[in-house]
Structure 1
Amino acid sequence: MADAALDTIPAELLAPIQNLVIHVEDFPDEETEQEMELESPFDLLGLYRGVDLTRQSVADVRGGPDMIFLYRRPILDYWCETGEDLAAIVRHVLIHEIGHHFGHSDEDMERIEAMG
């Protein structure tokens, strides 16, 4: 489903992406829960880990690829609670996290999502 959602993302958002890894995991790990101060592991649907493009420098030594995590169980729980289309939820979370890679604001991400 994440691959299918990725195929629907506008080209302007995907064209400059290099070395970005997308992981699907059941839940955030314990360290992420503590770092994000989550009350429950169900509180986080996705997460971008890396240095957004607005803060990267050619002089920086990169420690690895930037990563997007999609958390399957919280996404499924949200889907059950809201009744929204599951594919649309996955796409929304993916766009939101890719947007963080570019340093986009929430308003920028809403505009880009509306284009697709």
Structure 2
Amino acid sequence: MTDRIAHTSDAAAIERLARKAVDQLPAKFRAHLEDVVFRVQDFADSEMLRAVGLSNPWALLGLYHGLPFGQRSIWSTGDLPSVISLFRRPLLDEWRRQGVSLEDLVTHVIVHEVGHHFGLSDEDMHMIENDGE
């Protein structure tokens, strides 16, 4: 897919890019994402924004909500599934401002949120990203 998908940038288009990003992850990571729910919505709601200390809905591109994989237990029953949310309007705004491909931006956000699923902090992920440069 190319950036022409941005011209039809509805939630389904963003979801297709997110699925492609997940499909490109190594199998050992994908195997632990089977119970994670991925969803696309226009903006984060006020509760989501408060959870990460933000008030501006344009500032949040994605969010992981759930118990990180390494903290789960067989004794945890009845827990809701973990959710990775992508926020369409801020993603499109960021895409237009940065000039990167929409696919690359969605992939970056998916990888970041999957990192949270595996218990990585923002600082951990920044160190990993910087080591790759």
Q: TM-score range by the shorter chain?
A: 0.7 to 0.9
Which residue of structure 1 lines up, in the alignment, with residue 60 of structure 2? 44
Which residue of structure 2 lines up, in the alignment, with residue 86 of structure 1? 102
- Report if the CA contact (8 A) 1:99-1:109 is conserved: no
Residue type at the aligned position of 1:55 = Q
**Equivalent residue pairs, number:** 112
Where has structure 1 moved over 4 Å in runs of 4 or more? Answer: none
- 2:33 aligned with 1:31, yes or no? no
Root-mean-square deviation (CA, aligned residues, Å) is: 2.0
Which residue of structure 2 lines up, in the alignment, with residue 60 of structure 1? 76
User: 1:15 pairs with 23, 31, 56, which one?
Assistant: 31
5+ residue gaps, structure 1: none
Q: Over residues 33-75 of structure 1, what are the superposed CA-to-partner deviations in whole Å (9 max), with x where a residue is unaligned? A: 2232213101111000100012111112232211100111111
Which residue of structure 2 lines up, in the alignment, with residue 70 of structure 1? 86
- Report if the CA contact (8 A) 1:95-1:109 is conserved: no
5+ residue gaps, structure 2: 1-16
Structure 1 position 18, deviation (Å): 2.9
Which residue of structure 2 lines up, in the alignment, with residue 106 of structure 1? 125
Structure 1 position 2, deviation (Å): 1.6
**Sequence identity percentage:** 38
